[in-house]
Amino acid sequence: MKTLIDKIILVILLLAFLTSIFLIFAWVPPIKASNPAEQIAQRIFYYHVPSAWIGFLAFFVVFIGSIAYLWKRERKYELLSVASAEIGVLFITLVLLTGPVWAKPVWGIWWTWDARLTSSLVLWLIYVAYLMLRRYLPDGNKRANLSAVVGIIGFIDVPIVYYSIRWWETQHPKAVMASSEGGLAAPMFFVFMFSLAAFTLLYVYFMRVRYKLLVMEDSINKQIKEMEIL
């Protein structure tokens, strides 16, 4: 049941991602690197970093949705949190997949127990556990309450996890966007922002579709229950 807005977003997304692939592979100048493999591998940065940002955004929405649920007790906040948690896990999975693809040619290894990598994996595990919890519980207020509690504790834990592992030696490239010294060159910055916008729109689209699906599931379940009573 796609509305007109959904269709429009889908078309924009299609165009945006095609454009971003063109920008990343044909338009933006490659970075200065002695290793030619690194020059190619670096281009994954434009998908890797936005995925991470959107993953964090999604988990923040889980946090806000969980608080709103415990406060207002409205089903919509519960569904919003669940939808966002699923999508967040998806994006962090993308981060964990694109990272090794970059690391293999540049570091020579797929994975290392580095600070950033480890904390991202722990983050992923926290929200997978959140989704598992929901799977093991029957639908109802109990499930909504318990998952909201975990959604809140989980998000508060995220900065602590990052902080606890931070003092480890990190090989991971510095956060170029946040650094004071220069940062990205103008064309790179433009492509990055373009990707980020595309990923944000993708998140919005996924949220709309998943949320609607959850509402539909709900109404079907309700009808089944009514039929059972009859």
Partner 1 sequence: MLKPSLAIVQKDLRMEFRSKESILAMWIFSLLIFVIFNFTFEVSRLVMLEIAPGLLWVAFIFSGMFGLNHSFAVERENGNLRSMALMPVTGGSIYLGKFLSVTIIMLLFETLIFPIFVIFYDLQLTATLFLLIPVILAGTIGFTSLGTILSAVSVHTRNQQILLSLLLWPLVSPIIIWSVNLTSMVLAGEILTNFLPLLIRIIAFDVIFFTISFMLFDYILED
Residues 181-200 within binding reach of partner 1 (CB under 8 A): none
- Give 113: exposed, middle or buried? Use CB within 10 Å, 0-12, 13-18, 19+: exposed
Rounded to 10 deg, the angle between the 4-22 and 186-229 helix axes is 150
157 is a contact residue toward partner 1 (CB under 8 A): yes
Q: Does 125 bind partner 1 (CB under 8 A)?
A: yes
Work out how close the CB of 212 gets to partner 1 at its nearest, in angstroms, rounded to a whole number. Answer: 27
CA distance 90 to 208: 15
Block residue for tokens 């009808």: 223
Q: How far is the CB of 167 from partner 1 (least distance, A)?
A: 9
* Options 62, 82, 161, 188; binder of partner 1; rule CB under 8 A: 161
Q: Give the tokens for residue 176.
A: 């170029």
Q: Among the candidate windows 40-48, 136-144, 176-184, 200-208, which touches partner 1 by CB under 8 A? A: 136-144
Q: Which are the contacts of 123, defined by CB distance < 8 A and separation ≥ 6?
A: 55, 59, 92, 158, 161
What's the min distance (Å) between Cβ of 73 and partner 1? 10
Among 5, 33, 37, 153, binds partner 1 (CB under 8 A): 153
- Residues 146 and 58: their CA atoms lie apart, in Å, by 19
Crossing angle of helices 75-107 and 45-72, rounded to 10°: 160
Task: Report if residue 163 touches partner 1, rule: CB under 8 A.
Answer: yes
Our CB check for partner 1 shows the closer of 28 and 126 to be 126
Binding residues among 40-79 for partner 1 as defined by CB under 8 A: 70
Q: Which of 10, 31, 44, 137 binds partner 1 (CB under 8 A)?
A: 137
User: Closest CB to partner 1 among 140 and 182?
Assistant: 140
